[in-house]
Each structure stands twice: as C-alpha cells, then as structure tokens.
C-alpha cells in the first residue's frame, strides 16, 4: 500500500468523530510548524491528545561530564515552552478500566515498533505509554489506535484522565457487582464533555467493586465510586458510594465521602455536577493547589456537597445519564473454553507450581481463574504483546485487563488449561512468578524519561527485583506479601504512599556532591481502596536502599507479633524507632574513596539534577475557548488544503465547520449547548453576540459574522473556485474576529501570533 496514507487507508475503520478530531490535531501540528499557533496553546492542545514531553526535550543533557546542548534539525521550533519540536516525547494511551482486546494489543505493538522504541509500558493508572516518539508521527499513530477504538484524548492535560477500575471486575469473589459497564459509561460521558474542559488541573476517576480490597484505589482518587446494592422500594438497586478529593502527590489526601449512596442512574449526573463545580470553583492560577482535593479541603465536604446538590438540581436533563443502563449486561463476558479441572500434570513445567501459587486467582465462576502476567517494571516488547494477543485469543477469547500494578491479567482461563497456558507464556518470557508479592515492584518512569524525575525509580526497582529473585531478602511468608512501590520524585506517580514499603526520589549534598537519595515511606495501606498513607521516616542514598529493604524486612520477619500486619508493625514501632532502623544506611564513603554512590541505579553518569525540566503534568492553563478557536483554525487550514487539492466540496464543508466551531467556542463559554446541533450554535451566537452587537467591530460592525449566517441558512453555494476562495477568506476573518472578541471580553491572549 505504498503511497496510501494511513488517513486514507483507515478512513472507514475510524469513528467519524475520532477521525475528525485527529484531522484537526494534524492541522494544528502543521499550523504550529508554520508558527501560526502560540506554543502554550499548542502544548495544551497536544497534552489533551496524550502527547507529553519527555526528559531532555529542553535541548539540554548532562552527559556525566558537562551539560551539553542537543541540536535538533528543526532548530528553535518548539512544541511548548522550552520543549523542542524534534525532541522525542511520550504518548499516553487511555485504556479505560484496563480493558484491552487482542486486536487492540496488536495495534499497540505495531505503534510501539513503528513509532516508539519497541516497548509498551503499562502505567500505574492502567494506561499504556510509548516513549521516544516524534510529534509528527502522532496523528498517524492516533489513527491506527482509533481504527481499533482507542483514543488518546485527554490522556494528559487538565482534563478527565483515564477511568480506572478493578481488573478482576466481573470475576471477583468479593465484589458487590461488576463495575465495568458503569466505568465505561462514565468514560464515554465525560470524554470531551464541555463541563470538563476548564479545569485548573487533572481529574482522575476510579471504580471499585467493593470497599475492602485495593483494586480500585478509590480513596486516592479525585472522584471514586464503590459498588453497593441497596433496597429501593423493595427492589435491590445497583448504586455507588461516591468519594471526592483524594490524591497523592506532595500532600496526600484521603478522599471524602460525598454521598453515602446514589443509585446508578445518578452516577453520571453527579459526576457532571462535580465537574462543573470543580471547573468553576477550582484554583486556576496556582497549579500546586489546583487539584480538587484542595477545593474539597478548603470548602469542607459539607459545603462542597451543598454546591454539588445545588448544581445537580439545575443540570439540564441528558438522556445519556441512563441510556446505557439497559445494556449493562452487554459487558458480561463469555469464556472461550469449557471449564475443566486442573489435573496436576505428571511432568509439570519447571516453575509452574510457584507461578500457580502467586499468579493465579480463582474466579467466582467455578472452573475458571484469572492469571496475572507479572511484567517487569510494566514493560513488554512489541513481539511479546503480539504473542500475548494470540495466546489470549485462544485461551480466554480476549478477556485482557491491564492493572494499576503495571501487570496484565488474563481472565476466564479454564483451570485445566493452566499448565499449557503457563508453557506458552514461558516461551514468550511472560511467566514470571511473584505477581502481587515483594518481587512485583511498581515504579513510575522516574529519571528514565520523566522531566521531573529526581532519582532513578526504575533503576532502583530493577535492582530490588534482581535482589528479591536472588533471595537476598528474608523469605518469611509475611515478607513475601509486602508491596514495594517507587516514585522518582514527590509527585507520587509510583503510588509509594499506599505501599508497605515506599520510596520517592530526592537528593542530599554529601562531600560537596549532589547524591541521589530516596525518602523511605513505611506502612501505607493498599487494601481498603488505599485506606491510609504511609509515614516518611528519612532519606537514604539510592545505592543503600537495598540494605534498607533487607533491614526492614528482616526486622519485620523477626519481630512481628502473631498475625500482625506490616501497618500495625510500623505503627507499633513508631517513627522514631523506624528512623533509627534506617539511620546506619545514611552514610556513604567519600567520593575519593568510592564514587559509586554518587551515581544512580542503571546510570553510569555521575549524578546531577541538571537534567530536570519543567513538568507538563498539569499542562498550561489555557482557556477552553482559546483551544476551541485553535481547532477552528485547524479546520480552516484543512479547508485551504482541500481547496489547493481542487476538492471544492470538501473545502466548502470544512470552511463551514470551521466557522461553526469558532462560533460554538464563544457560545460554550456562556451557555450549554446540545451536542452536534448547528442550528442551536448559530441561533445562540446570533442572539448573544450579533443581535446585542457585542461581536461588532468598531469599523466593520457585524460584517465578519454574516458569512456564517449565510452559509448556514443557504447551504453550500456555488462550488466554483472563486466562490470558495472568498468563503475561505471570510472564514479566516471570522475566526480572527472571534479571537478579537475573546480578547475584548476576557483579556485572553490570542492564540494567533
């Protein structure tokens, strides 16, 4: 198919809305290259498409001797403040509730090998991340993902991030009911929702099927729902306990209960009301205080609840709130194979027993189990992903989920198939035992790729795994069940706060050198949906962390009282005693005696903090109006390209869409519009801005708006080159007038430069 673009090849495969969004994004990429979109606006635009910056994208890198400039071919062109165009970046890909099909896994593998570095990385929020990607490859990559129903929209930026959920929902023995359909409905409802476009920071929702287990981690999320069935008028009714304002980061907050229970029919409107209140009342200027947890803390949960009640009461009815409910059963999965008992094979494959013990979970459906694939640091190669897709088709009919522990779960494995499944997974290197144990360490990207990383979280996690595998730590069964989680900095993406033994990166000056360290955080609670956070007991040099783990685990094994949990143990010892426990590991030799501790794990360079950059976690706070006007410009650009290609029909249609989008951007800033309703857009625009003369220019008056009214009322006019050329000019002038209007009204900085 040489010569055929992905856009042409996949035209029929993509949902029209996704296809159009990607076309618009591609237009914005082109406009940015031409210097026609401000870098801040472009940065937020790409972040909202999941296109993230990566370490060294400011063009500076310390090579261990000195900081050197990286000279990229595109020169000074940027894709955001201090972010060079050619510098490789990361693509985050949303996987709602971790549900992924074999076809999707294959396309993810294709993207990893054709645009990235051959590696798929599972994140602590069930997303997939690909690294080292060029910005200009992202539109085609998005098309390929869209062709199998995956979107990257709002995977980063100040919007609703991936909706996470229990990876064993539907097969879990302790769940109240399967939350999958509800998580899916919330994901679809909030995706691109106008009420969720003006947040000061990100917003992470999570679902859990029960209160006691950790899978959903609701208590550390911005918005969380825990399944509960209540009797309503004698009818058992599905519903949720609703929590808001949880979060980790530098100042972790446990979520507060917003509602003790709401029926499922209220789930989406409540989430919408929360979105509106957060968008309106949340902090916008100080990004360090802009998460919803700060708003909830500032107002108090009672006042916050009052605002939500008030907002809910005035929400205009939306049929989507309940339209999915009759189809909840569509999410029930069918096993691919008949249930059969596990017959212990005479010559069981080597390692099968250990894998069976740690990686296999008995489902509530008799004869079936869920098998966890313990991925080292959340990574697998494209070849492995492809092979796994094939294995999953045969054994489980494609029932695959990613997990917040950076693993993959195959559900609906017939018990009788386990030995053969194990054999096949072992052949592709995906049968490591130890899932959910001290071996299965979670880590954020840290200094490997993250601009904010201070210490090498992945390097440390890799080293600890090697040492656990080599039985360097206590083999006590209570120790085996402990969790270790590592973050490269205080931002907590590795979720260290909810781990038995957690670490986050920082530094200390020793012997005149900056030395990589990890703060030790002990006793976080993973169960009960991340029920409580650990306590920081002191920082130790990175290279001494394995000794710290050895000391802590040995002490726990030796001194724990009967069934004492690690949380109870650390509480009993207290901060002072735990501090004393790690004290001997704080010192290192001088640099002259041994320079090794002055480097980080998995990195041969002498340590420096010079490579840290400006984070993009929050994105720029750019108004949704400015972003939408930028999209309208992209459509107008598309119209010009169609015109240049001689496609006058498309040029006319794109130009009209561009004007409509620009008008819609202004209207949406003032009122709520029904989706996909051009009549409503034009009517509202006319009444609000034209009839009132608010839109009028001092000299041109309302002239620039009239082409929109004419094209809308009269439909396509004469499709000759001259008429279309004029329409294109009028479209550009209308969009300029919209920008000017926004500046007049709000003082916003124009996206046009």
Give residues in contact with other proteins (CB under 8 A): 1-2, 4-6, 9, 55-56, 61, 63-65, 70-73, 86-88, 106, 110, 113-114, 117-119, 131-132, 134, 136-137, 376-377, 379-381, 383-384, 386, 428-430, 448, 458-459, 462, 465, 602-605
Q: Please choose which of other proteins, ligand SF4, none residue 23 contacts, taking the beta carbon within 5 to 8 angstroms, the exact cut-off set by kind.
A: none
At its nearest, how many Å lie between other proteins and the CB of residue 4? 7
Q: How far is the first Cα of the chain from the last one, in angstroms, to the nearest whole number?
A: 39
Order the strands of the 535-541 sheet from edge to edge: 442-443, 484-487, 501-510, 513-522, 535-541
At its nearest, how many Å lie between ligand SF4 and the CB of residue 87? 17
Q: Give the number of C-alpha atoms closer than 13 A to the C-alpha of residue 506, restricted to the C-beta side.
A: 16
Both tokens assigned to 478: 């209570």
Q: How far is Cα 629 from Cα 666, in angstroms, rounded to an integer?
A: 8
Q: Please choose which of ligand SF4, other proteins, none residue 458 contacts, taking the beta carbon within 5 to 8 angstroms, the exact cut-off set by kind.
A: other proteins
The answer to whether 277 and 308 are in contact (CB under 8 A) is yes
The answer to whether 117 and 155 are in contact (CB under 8 A) is no
At its nearest, how many Å lie between other proteins and the CB of residue 206? 28
- Name residues whose C-beta falls within 8 Å of residue 623's C-beta, 6 or more positions apart in sequence: 198, 669, 742, 746, 748
Q: How far is Cα 517 from Cα 486, in angstroms, rounded to an integer?
A: 12
Q: Please choose which of ligand SF4, other proteins, none residue 487 contacts, taking the beta carbon within 5 to 8 angstroms, the exact cut-off set by kind.
A: ligand SF4
Q: Please choose which of ligand SF4, other proteins, none residue 524 contacts, taking the beta carbon within 5 to 8 angstroms, the exact cut-off set by kind.
A: none
Q: Please choose which of ligand SF4, other proteins, none residue 384 contacts, taking the beta carbon within 5 to 8 angstroms, the exact cut-off set by kind.
A: other proteins
The answer to whether 516 and 610 are in contact (CB under 8 A) is no
Q: Please choose which of other proteins, ligand SF4, none residue 634 contacts, taking the beta carbon within 5 to 8 angstroms, the exact cut-off set by kind.
A: none
Element (DSSP H or E) covering residue 537: strand 535-541
Q: Which is nearer to ligand SF4, 249 or 579 (CB)?
A: 249
Q: Which is nearer to other proteins, 241 or 402 (CB)?
A: 402
Q: Which is nearer to ligand SF4, 450 or 578 (CB)?
A: 450
Q: Which is nearer to other proteins, 560 or 591 (CB)?
A: 591
Q: Please choose which of ligand SF4, other proteins, none residue 488 contacts, taking the beta carbon within 5 to 8 angstroms, the exact cut-off set by kind.
A: ligand SF4
Query: How is residue 704 annotated by DSSP?
Result: G
Q: How far is Cα 131 from Cα 90, in angstroms, rounded to an integer?
A: 4
Q: How far is Cα 752 from Cα 567, in angstroms, rounded to an integer?
A: 55
Q: Which residue pairs from 8-11 have beta carbons closer than 8 angstroms and sit at least 24 positions apart in sequence?
A: 10/143, 10/144, 10/146, 10/147
At its nearest, how many Å lie between ligand SF4 and the CB of residue 455? 8
Q: Which is nearer to ligand SF4, 264 or 450 (CB)?
A: 450
- CA 424 to centroid of chain Cα atoms: 31
At its nearest, how many Å lie between other proteins and the CB of residue 144? 9
At its nearest, how many Å lie between other proteins and the CB of residue 373? 11
Q: Please choose which of ligand SF4, other proteins, none residue 197 contacts, taking the beta carbon within 5 to 8 angstroms, the exact cut-off set by kind.
A: none
Q: Which is nearer to other proteins, 41 or 380 (CB)?
A: 380
**Interface residues toward ligand SF4, by CB under 6 A:** 444-446, 450, 452-453, 457, 487-489, 491-494
- CA 220 to centroid of chain Cα atoms: 15
At its nearest, how many Å lie between other proteins and the CB of residue 234? 53
Both tokens assigned to 287: 């990004």
Q: Please choose which of other proteins, ligand SF4, none residue 118 contacts, taking the beta carbon within 5 to 8 angstroms, the exact cut-off set by kind.
A: other proteins
| Residue in the shown chain whose Cβ atom is closest to ligand SF4 | 488
Q: How far is Cα 714 from Cα 376, in angstroms, rounded to an integer?
A: 61
Q: Which is nearer to other proteins, 55 or 401 (CB)?
A: 55
């Amino acid at each position: 198919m040489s010569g055929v673009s992905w856009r042409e090849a996949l035209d029929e495969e993509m949902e029209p809305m996704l296809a159009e969004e990607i076309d618009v994004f591609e237009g914005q990429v082109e406009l940015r290259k031409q210097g026609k979109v401000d870098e801040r606006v472009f940065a937020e635009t790409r972040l909202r498409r999941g296109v993230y910056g990566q370490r060294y994208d400011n063009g500076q890198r310390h090579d261990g001797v000195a900081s050197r400039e990286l000279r990229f071919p595109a020169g000074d062109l940027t894709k955001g403040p201090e972010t060079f165009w050619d510098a490789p970046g990361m693509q985050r890909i949303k996987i709602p509730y971790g549900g992924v099909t074999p076809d999707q896994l294959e396309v993810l593998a294709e993207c990893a090998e054709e645009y990235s570095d051959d590696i798929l990385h599972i994140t602590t929020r069930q997303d997939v991340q690909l690294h080292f990607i060029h910005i200009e490859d992202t539109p085609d990559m998005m098309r390929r993902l869209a062709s199998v129903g995956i979107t990257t929209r709002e995977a980063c930026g100040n919007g609703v991030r991936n909706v996470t959920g229990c990876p064993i929902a539907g097969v879990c023995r302790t769940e109240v009911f399967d939350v999958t359909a509800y998580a899916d409905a919330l994901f679809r409802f909030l995706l691109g929702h106008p009420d969720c476009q003006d947040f000061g920071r990100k917003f992470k929702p999570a679902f859990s099927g029960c209160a006691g287990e950790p899978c959903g981690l609701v208590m550390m999320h911005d918005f969380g729902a825990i399944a509960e069935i209540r009797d309503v008028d004698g009818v058992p009714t599905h519903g949720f306990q609703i929590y808001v304002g949880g979060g980790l980061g530098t100042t972790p907050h446990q979520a507060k209960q917003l509602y003790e229970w709401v029926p499922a029919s209220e789930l989406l409107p409540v989430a919408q009301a929360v979105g509106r209140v957060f968008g309106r009342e949340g902090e916008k200027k100080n990004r360090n205080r802009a998460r919803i947890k700060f708003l909830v803390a500032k107002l108090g949960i009672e006042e916050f609840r009052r605002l939500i009640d008030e907002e809910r009461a005035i929400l205009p009815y939306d049929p989507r709130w309940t339209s999915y409910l009759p189809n909840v059963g569509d999410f029930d999965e069918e096993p691919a194979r008949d249930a059969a008992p596990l017959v212990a094979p005479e010559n069981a494959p080597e390692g099968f027993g250990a894998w069976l013990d740690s990686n296999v979970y008995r489902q509530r459906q008799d004869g079936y189990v869920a098998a966890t694939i313990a991925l080292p640091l959340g990574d697998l190669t494209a070849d492995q992903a492809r092979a796994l897709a094939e294995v999953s088709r045969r054994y489980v009919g494609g029932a695959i989920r990613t997990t917040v522990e950076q693993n993959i779960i195959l559900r609906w494995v017939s018990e009788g198939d386990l030995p053969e499944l194990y054999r096949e997974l072992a052949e592709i290197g995906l049968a490591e035992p130890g899932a959910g144990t001290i071996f299965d360490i979670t880590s954020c990207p840290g200094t490997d790729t993250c601009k904010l990383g201070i210490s090498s979280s992945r390097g440390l996690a890799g080293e600890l795994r090697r040492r656990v595998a080599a039985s360097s730590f206590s083999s006590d069964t209570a120790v085996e069940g402990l969790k270790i989680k590592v973050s490269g900095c205080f931002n907590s993406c590795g979720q260290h706060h909810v781990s038995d033994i957690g670490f986050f990166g920082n530094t200390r000056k020793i012997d005149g050198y900056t030395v990589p360290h990890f703060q030790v955080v002990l006793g976080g609670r993973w169960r009960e949906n991340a029920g409580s956070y650990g306590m920081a007991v002191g920082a130790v040099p990175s290279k001494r962390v394995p000794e710290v783990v050895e000391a802590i685990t040995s002490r726990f094994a030796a001194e724990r009282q009967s069934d004492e949990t690690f949380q109870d143990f650390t509480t009993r010892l207290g901060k002072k005693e735990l501090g004393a426990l790690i004290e001997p590991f704080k010192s290192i030799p001088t640099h002259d005696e041994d320079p090794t501790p002055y480097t980080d794990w998995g990195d041969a360079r002498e340590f420096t903090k010079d490579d840290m950059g400006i984070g993009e976690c929050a994105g720029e706070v750019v108004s949704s109006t400015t972003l939408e006007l930028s999209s309208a410009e992209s459509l107008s650009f598309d119209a010009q390209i169609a015109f240049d290609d001689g496609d006058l029909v498309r040029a006319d249609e794109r130009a009209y869409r561009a004007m409509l989008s620009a008008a819609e951007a202004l209207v949406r800033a003032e009122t709520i519009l029904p989706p996909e309703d051009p009549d409503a857009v034009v009517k509202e625009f006319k009444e609000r801005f034209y009839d009132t003369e608010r839109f009028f220019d001092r000299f041109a008056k309302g002239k620039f708006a009239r082409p929109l009214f004419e094209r809308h009322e009269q439909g396509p006019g004469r499709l000759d080159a001259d008429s279309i050329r004029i329409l294109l000019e009028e479209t550009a002038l209308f969009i300029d007038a919209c920008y000017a209007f926004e500046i007049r009204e709000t003082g916003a900085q124009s996206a046009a430069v």
